[in-house]
Amino acid sequence: MIKISAKMIQFYKPTLKRRDMDSVLQTMVNEKIGPGERAKAFVQSFCETVGVSSGIAFRSYPDCLFYALTAMGVTSGTKVAVSPLSPDIYRTVFDRIGAEMVFVDIDKQNGCPDEALVAQSGAEVLLLYEPFGTLPVRYNEKTTFVESCDYGEVKVIEDISESIGSKVGEEFSAGKIGQIVVCAMEEDSVVSAGGGAVMAMTREYSGSLHGKRPSRYLTMPDMNAALGMVQLSNLGENCARRLEILKVYQQSLAKTRHRQFGLGLVEFSSNAASFAVMLDSRPDETMKFANAKKVPVKMAFADCLFKEVEGDPFEIAPVAASFFYRTVEFPLYLFLKPDEIDLVSKVVAHLP
Whether 313 has a pLDDT exceeding 90, the answer reads: yes
What separation in angstroms does the CA of 116 have from each of 29, 151, 263? Answer: 54, 8, 19
What domains are defined for the chain?
Answer: 18-233 (3.40.640.10), 235-349 (3.90.1150.10)
Burial 122-143 (b: 16+ CB within 10 A, else e): ebbbbbbbbbbbbbbbbbeeee
What's the chain's average pLDDT? 89
Q: What is the pLDDT of residues 195-229, one digit of tens each?
A: 999 999 988 877 666 556 677 778 898 888 888 88
Q: What is the pLDDT of residues 84-143, one digit of tens each?
A: 999 999 999 999 999 999 999 999 999 999 999 999 999 999 999 999 999 999 877 777
Helices (H) and strands (E) in the chain, counts: 11, 16
DSSP 293: T
Q: What is the pLDDT of residues 130-177, one digit of tens each?
A: 999 999 998 777 776 788 899 999 999 999 999 999 999 888 999 999
Q: How confident is the model at residue 35 (pLDDT cuts 50, 70, 90)?
A: low
Report the share of the chain in percent with pLDDT over 70: 90
> Is the CA virtual torsion 234, 239, 244, 246 positive or negative?
positive
pLDDT at residue 47 in the model: 93
